[in-house]
Structure 1
């Protein structure tokens, strides 16, 4: 298989679960070694947390973000160690964009682990718990959803924040405005419009204070030109300038995740296979819905690693 046909993708929040990567960790030392590296950066035993901790603790944003980044980097390192084909593009969904940049050599791993923990803290404190909400909307056109959010915004902030696949969009904002939007969306014929179990309205304009803090944190961190291009959520394009990459990471916190655009960019570049590095297969499902011809694999167990390696042989 030609390297130009392969992209590796990295999941965002929601893919974490207690016991994730357990079998890979027992089979391949590089998994636990990567978690040990991250544990040293954060001064707590991250592997013990994901294997023996409580799901509630794992779901705290400031915990979830470094845990998922570490899981993705560990799987990427395993892929490389096992002789996996070098991809021509990388991309990640929200938090996963940081994982992609680490794997592309643009961000130092320990720096990134500390940075995303801080990002989680900033995002959580930008809007007090209980004041923000998110909801998934199925079965309406993007433009309809954007228009209905504009109507409901007389009640408060509500915006379309994740364009995940055709017919699947996530909205977020202040609780009353999200509730109002849900009613209007159902009246407009949405198949489903259901609240999501998250603690803050991610990727809305309400996250601007978090963006300001992230910009300050990024000022002290070195970003290099990626050695594999990364497709960015904000505009669905690749960037090589480290200063632009920093600006995009800040903007991403309060801007919509344009995942459909990211996948369309990969397809236009000739990508035929995507491999999801990390727990679960959320992105594999989205990618398949965006384009049925895509060959989508994921790696979170020894069996799925073998299958992914075979899929590009």
Structure 2
């Protein structure tokens, strides 16, 4: 059965994440112990004593370290997928799993990205909202009409019926109002600290572009489906260019899942924490009338033990 590993993005982090994996797996411990960060990674993930885990500059390296640790466990057991993808930040974990960077480099990159995005969001009166039950076409009309109130755009096309918009507060609120008038079931405002994947993140993209010049990028060993295109990379663009665009462009998660399904992937393994991505897979597959998929989430020591037995 063709398999894709999907790496979670920011938002599913929680206190205690990875504590049982650190206890049970040497490979996971090695990733955490070697992480070169300005804060105590284990204390932040396992205890979160100052309730700072949800701050972008901490969330991003913590999530990537967790993902790299799980990848190390799977690699040790000879388990590799046919394809890789990730939601936003999760794309860095996917690239690590493909061999583009080692774990230490990837965690440092995530920390730099988190800091750059935090700086880019500073001073922007922003909001993000998940619009439920409206087509992309109708939501695009709402966004265009709301532009009279400020900057707003589609940030994440997660799956059929769930699309995230973001930008300046007044414009986002106006677009959300219009969406409900056009038939959206709900408009849920998200607890985030900035207008991610919008033009406001352009300064972060420029910082990443400069930072990448000092980083070695190896060739992907496993195909990665990228957020910006919803497709695999061709020779016209480098990984660096795609990541610089990614931070300021909408994430095409629906198109990513559609691409994987079209390639015959039927087992989707979400490397968390969280279960959001497998939810997106199920909704996208249903829309495509595909019902033979298998969705697995890996977050705990027990779930990883079960998957190793299944995949071996």
1:211 aligns with 2:210: no
The reply to whether residue 230 of structure 1 matches residue 224 of structure 2 is yes
SS at match of 1:153: helix
Q: 2:249: which partner in 1?
A: 255
**Equivalent position of 2:189 in the other structure:** 195
- The answer on 1:67 being equivalent to 2:66 is no
Q: Does 1:275 align with 2:269?
A: yes
Bigger Cα displacement from structure 2, 297-306 vs 65-74:
297-306
What are the residue-to-residue correspondences of 1:91-102 with 2, within 5 Å? 91-102=85-96
Which deviations, in whole Å up to 9, do the C-alpha atoms of 1:122-173 show, x marking residues without a partner? 1122132561110011000011111101100111011111000100000000
Decide which of 142, 146, 151 is 1:152's aligned counterpart.
Answer: 146
Question: Deviations for 1:108-135, whole angstroms, at most 9, x for unmatched residues?
Answer: 3222222221211111221325611100
SS at match of 1:57: coil
Instruction: Work out whether 1:19 is the aligned partner of 2:13.
Output: no
- The answer for the alignment partner of 1:46 in structure 2 is 41
- State the Cα deviation string for residues 61-113 of structure 1 (Å, max 9, x = none): 111111001100100111122333x2111101000000111111112322222
Q: Is the 8 A contact 1:129 1:199 kept in 2?
A: no
In the alignment, the residues of structure 1 paired with residue 199 and residue 109 of structure 2 have an alpha-carbon distance, to the nearest angstrom, of: 21
> Does the CA contact (< 8 Å) of 2:7 and 2:67 recur in 1?
yes
Cα distance in 2 for residues equivalent to 1:137 and 1:311: 37
Between 1:116-125 and 1:150-159, the stretch displaced more is: 116-125
Query: Deviations along 1:273-299, whole A, 9 cap, x unmatched?
Result: 011112111111111111143211011
1:309 alignment partner in structure 2: 308
| Equivalent of residue 282 in structure 2, options 272, 288, 312 | 288
Distance in 1 (CA, whole Å) between partners of 2:51 and 2:234 is 38
The root-mean-square deviation of aligned C-alpha atoms, in Å, is 1.7
Cα offset for 1:240? 6.1
- The answer for the alignment partner of 1:133 in structure 2 is 127
- Would you say the 8 A contact 2:121–2:193 is kept in 1? no
- Name the TM-score, length of structure 1 as normaliser: 0.93
TM-score with structure 2 setting the length: 0.94
Greater shift after overlay, 232-241 or 262-271?
A: 232-241
The alpha-carbon distance between structure 1 residues 70 and 240, as it changes in their structure 2 partners (threshold 3 A), is farther
SS in 1 for 2:74: helix
Partner Cα distance (2:249, 2:23) in 1: 39
Change (3 A) 1:295 1:310: farther
Q: Secondary structure at the match of 1:193?
A: strand
Residue among 164, 167, 173 paired with 1:173? 167
* Number of aligned residue pairs: 307
Q: Is the 8 A contact 1:223 1:242 kept in 2?
A: no
Distance across 1 between alignment mates of 2:57 and 2:174: 29
Does the Cα contact within 8 Å between 1:32 and 1:47 map onto a contact in 2? no
